[in-house]
Structure 1
Amino acid sequence: MTLPSPSGPPASRGDGAPVSALLLDLDGTLVNSEPLHREGYRVYFAQKGWDVPDLTIFTGRRALDVLATEPGPWSGLDPQAVLDEILEHVPDEDPEPVPGARELILTARSGRTPVAIVTSAGPAWVERSLGSLGLGLDDVDLVVTALDVTAGKPDPEGFALACERLGADPAAAVAAEDSPAGIRAAVAAGVRRVHGIATTHAPDELTAAGAVEVHVDARPLLALLAD
Structure 2
Amino acid sequence: MTEVSAFLLDLDGTLVDSEPIHRRGYEAYFAHRGWDVPDLTIFTGRRAEDVFATEPGPWSGLDPATVLAEVLRHVPDEAAEAVPGARDLIQSAAAAGVRLAIVTSAGPAWVERSLVESLGLSLTSVDVVVTARDVVDGKPHPAGFALACERLGVDPALAVAAEDSPAGVRAALGAGVRRVHGVATTHDADRLREAGAVDVHDDLRPLLGLLGG
Deviations 1:99-139 (A, max 9, x none): 00000000001112100000000000000000110001000
2: distance between equivalents of 1:47 and 1:138?
39
Letter of the 2:22 counterpart: H
Letter of the 2:115 counterpart: L
SS in 2 for 1:75: coil
Q: Once the 2 structures are TM-superposed, how far is the Cα of residue 48 of structure 1 from its aligned partner?
A: 0.7
> What is the match of residue 103 of structure 2?
118
Letter of the 2:27 counterpart: R
* Aligned equivalent of 1:224, options 179, 195, 210: 210
Q: Once the 2 structures are TM-superposed, how far is the Cα of residue 148 of structure 1 from its aligned partner?
A: 0.2
Is 1:212 the counterpart of 2:198 in the alignment? Answer: yes
- Kindly, what percent of the aligned residue pairs are identical? 73
SS in 1 for 2:177: coil
2: distance between equivalents of 1:116 and 1:212?
20
Identify unmatched segments of 5+ residues in structure 2: none
* Aligned equivalent of 2:61, options 76, 81, 98: 76
Q: Once the 2 structures are TM-superposed, how far is the Cα of residue 201 of structure 1 from its aligned partner?
A: 0.2
Is 1:32 the counterpart of 2:14 in the alignment? Answer: no
2: distance between equivalents of 1:126 and 1:53?
26
1: distance between equivalents of 2:13 and 2:39?
17
SS in 1 for 2:182: strand
Counterparts of 1:135-214 in structure 2, within 5 Å, are: 135-214=121-200
Q: Once the 2 structures are TM-superposed, how far is the Cα of residue 41 of structure 1 from its aligned partner?
A: 0.4
1: distance between equivalents of 2:32 and 2:133?
29
Q: Once the 2 structures are TM-superposed, how far is the Cα of residue 22 of structure 1 from its aligned partner?
A: 0.4
Superposition RMSD in Å = 0.6
Q: Normalising by structure 1, what TM-score?
A: 0.93
Q: Normalising by structure 2, what TM-score?
A: 0.99
> What is the match of residue 6 of structure 1?
none
1: distance between equivalents of 2:145 and 2:93?
18
The count of corresponding residues between Structure 1 and Structure 2 is 212
